[in-house]
Amino acid sequence: MKLKVCGMKHNTMEVASLGPDFLGFIFWEGSPRHFEGPALPTLPEGIIPVGVFVDTEPDIILSHVQGYALGAVQLHGQESPAYCRDLRMRLNGSGLDKTQLIKAFSIGEKFSFDILQGYLPYCDYFLFDTKGRLPGGTGRTFNWEVLQEYPYEKPFLLSGGIGEAHCLMLQEFLSSPKAKFCLGIDVNSKFETEPGLKDTEALRRFLECGCWTVKSPGLEKT
């Protein structure tokens, strides 16, 4: 089970020392966690830096991938399958074919997984977050039971208001058929003392809870 810590801004290297698999840097100006540094800190080997974008022009994303040496791009807006296809082609054509593409979807009371069909050829992972008024996190979880209906084998990240209080819920979820293709957990605001400043002790405790030993059976070959 992998961990992505998103919204990095102030104490990146402290968080990196805990060994997460992904660190997310938000390049959307509407976020209080908007990353504006001239360069990313030099992360330990094995940690993938993720750039988070919202309905951004593909040329700008390409420039950020190259300039910040991003290992993954997370699309958190209304990007269409055609947009993802174009971005994937541009990345490949620029020698950035190893850049992972993550498409986020906001889940509310109702959600149809049919809309994911067109994204399957172009995205490496999906990310499921809680539906809110604006792009980005809401600090609330959604009803994970909806993932019982997930019909694809594409790995996904579970996001949306996850904190220390959810450890037992996560263990139950990750041990259930609903999590067959869950690659990992995405966390953000529940582990902050202020936007972009992470509570590393809380993250450390979270990493010590039992959910990280659960292996999703549907991903054993990945």
Q: Looking at residue 51, which CATH number applies to its domain?
A: 3.20.20.70
- Distance from C-alpha of 48 to C-alpha of 127, rounded to nearest angstrom: 16
Q: At what angle do helices 81-93 and 58-68 cross, to 10 degrees?
A: 40
Q: Which of 81-84's residues contact partners 24+ apart within 8 Å by CB, and which partners?
A: 81/118, 81/119, 81/122, 83/58, 84/119, 84/122, 84/123
Q: Write the CA distances from 194 to 50, 51, 74, 160, 197, integer angstroms.
A: 21, 20, 23, 17, 5
What is the Rg, in whole angstroms, of the alpha carbon atoms belonging to the chain?
16
What average pLDDT does the structure give for the chain? 90
- Region 6-11: mean pLDDT is 94
Give me the percent of the chain exceeding a pLDDT of 70. Answer: 91
| pLDDT on residue 221 | 46
Q: How many domains would you assign to the chain?
A: 1
pLDDT of 37 higher than 80: yes
CA–centroid distance for 23 within its chain: 9
| pLDDT on residue 213 | 67
Helix segments in the chain, DSSP class H? 12-16, 58-68, 81-93, 167-174, 200-207
Q: Over the stretch 141-197, which tens digit does the pLDDT of each residue have?
A: 888 989 989 999 999 999 988 999 999 889 888 888 889 999 999 999 999 999 999
- Distance from C-alpha of 220 to C-alpha of 113, rounded to nearest angstrom: 23
- Spatial neighbors of 42 by CB under 8 A, at least 6 apart, are none
CA–centroid distance for 53 within its chain: 11
Give me the domain span that covers residue 28. Answer: 2-219
Closest by alpha carbon to 88, among 76, 77, 102? 102
Encoded tokens for 23? 């660190």
* H or E, element range at 101: strand 100-107
pLDDT of 214 higher than 90: no
Cross-strand pairs, 25: 51
- How many other β-carbons are positioned within 10 Å of the β-carbon of residue 133? 5
Least confident among 13-17, 35-39, 133-137: 133-137
